[in-house]
Amino acid sequence: MSLFLVWCIIFFVLGACIGSFLNVCIYRLPQGRSIVRPGSACPECGHSLAWWENIPIVSYLLLRARCRSCRAPISFQYPLVELLMGVAATALFMRYGLGPEMPIYLCFIGCLLVVTFVDLEHQIIPDIVSLPGIVLGFIFSFWLPELSWMDSIVGVLTGGGILYMVAWLYYVIAHREGMGGGDIKLLAMIGAFLGWKSIPLVIFLSAAVGAATGLTLMVVSRGGRHSAIPYGPFLAGAAVIALFWGSELIRWYSGFLAGV
Ligand SMILES: [Zn+2]
């Protein structure tokens, strides 16, 4: 077996283990509970998990998606988050090797995953992720060869500033709040990690996919659905696309704009 493949497997397992920790964050942060103690337990019956019931992805399959003690179903979200983090870690290794980008962007994707699943369930973006994320993104810019600290700071200001203006305009026109402060802080965090050049791309992608999803849901439910869909998951998804394919996309659309 080649050394490259061994590294890929190591990073997949490492990513899945981090995903397992993120599941704890997703479940406990909105409740304001400690993410360190106590150990993992079944939310239905309180049965504490043995080590073999706590192995990322594998335990879900071994237990056939049910608690060993009370047979309550285990959410598919647990292995999904572990799988996504495993794939993210492997993809980052394949893209950047063992450079500083690998742990930094893995931390970024981890924050985005927590935000996505908390927002889907509770319609909030926890400040305890986005605010430290802004600071970390700025500090990490000193280690990233392709991102200067100036790009990072301007990214925070443009990311937060643009959405703040959109939210303010919406409030002035519609006299009610359309966009939460959580989305503003999330885009500021994305700007800190990816720099200001990625902000137009992230806004365009998230708005386009978000609008398409909203329209589809309206058609499917025949206009019966009026509850707002959270914007955070679309911002997070757009940020991951910008992370992996951003420079190609930015080059393409700046060439396109220059040609107009
Ligand atoms: Zn149980």
Residues 88 and 142 reside in one and the same domain: no
Residues 148 and 68 reside in one and the same domain: no
Domain hosting residue 177, numbered range? 100-260
Residues 6 and 17 reside in one and the same domain: yes
In single-letter form, the type of residue at position 15 comes to G
Per-residue pLDDT at 91: 97
Residues 18 and 40 reside in one and the same domain: yes
Distance 252 CA to ligand 1 centre (A): 52
Per-residue pLDDT at 227: 63
Residues 83 and 166 reside in one and the same domain: no
- Mark which of 73, 98, 123 sits at the end of a domain: 98
Residues 168 and 89 reside in one and the same domain: no
In single-letter form, the type of residue at position 103 comes to P
143-158 pLDDT per residue, tens: 998 899 999 999 999 9
Distance 72 CA to ligand 1 centre (A): 6
Residues 182 and 244 reside in one and the same domain: yes
Residues 153 and 213 reside in one and the same domain: yes
Distance 66 CA to ligand 1 centre (A): 8
Are the beta carbons of 198 and 158 closer than 8 angstroms? no
β-sheet bridge partners, residue 66: 73
Distance 40 CA to ligand 1 centre (A): 11
Distance 42 CA to ligand 1 centre (A): 5
- For 168-176, which contacts have Cβ atoms below 8 Å and span 24 or more sequence positions? none
Mean pLDDT of 213-232: 78
73 prior amide bond cis, ω within 30:
no
Per-residue pLDDT at 84: 98
Mean pLDDT of 86-112: 96
Residues with CB under 5 A from ligand 1 (ion): 42, 44-45, 47, 67, 69-70, 72
What is the Cα 80 distance to its own chain's centre?
Answer: 13
Rounded to an integer, what distance in angstroms lies between the CA atom of residue 249 and that of residue 260?
A: 17
- Burial class of residue 141 in the structure, from the number of CB atoms within 10 Å of its CB (0-12 exposed, 13-18 middle, 19+ buried): buried
Mean pLDDT of 90-94: 96
Residues 70 and 164 reside in one and the same domain: no
- Mark which of 51, 67, 98 sits at the end of a domain: 98
User: Is residue 179 pLDDT above 80, yes or no?
Assistant: no
Residues 178 and 238 reside in one and the same domain: yes
Residues 69 and 106 reside in one and the same domain: no
Mean pLDDT of the chain: 91
The total number of structural domains that make up the chain = 2
Q: SS3 letters for 21-34? A: HHHHHHHHHHHCCC
Task: Transcribe 156-204 into DSSP letters.
Answer: HHHHHHHHHHHHHHHHHHHSS--S-HHHHHHHHHHHHHH-GGGHHHHHH
Residues 118 and 237 reside in one and the same domain: yes
Distance 41 CA to ligand 1 centre (A): 8
Per-residue pLDDT at 241: 96
Coil vs helix vs strand at 153 = helix
Rounded to an integer, what distance in angstroms lies between the CA atom of residue 194 and that of residue 230?
A: 22
Pair of tokens at residue 2: 């080649």
- For 6-15, which contacts have Cβ atoms below 8 Å and span 24 or more sequence positions? 7/93, 8/90, 8/93, 8/94, 11/86, 11/89, 11/90, 11/92, 11/93, 12/86, 12/87, 12/89, 12/90, 13/56, 13/86, 14/89, 15/85, 15/86, 15/87, 15/88, 15/89, 15/90, 15/106
CB atoms within 10 A of CB 224: 8
User: Is residue 226 pLDDT above 80, yes or no?
Assistant: no
- Mark which of 98, 115, 140 sits at the end of a domain: 98
If one compares 185 and 252, the residue with the highest pLDDT of the two is 185
| Share above pLDDT 90 across residues of the chain, in percent, rounded to a whole number | 72
If one compares 259 and 60, the residue with the highest pLDDT of the two is 60
Distance 245 CA to ligand 1 centre (A): 42
Mean pLDDT of 210-220: 87
Distance 54 CA to ligand 1 centre (A): 13
Rounded to an integer, what distance in angstroms lies between the CA atom of residue 172 and that of residue 201?
A: 26
43-89 pLDDT per residue, tens: 899 999 999 999 999 999 999 999 999 999 999 999 999 999 999 99
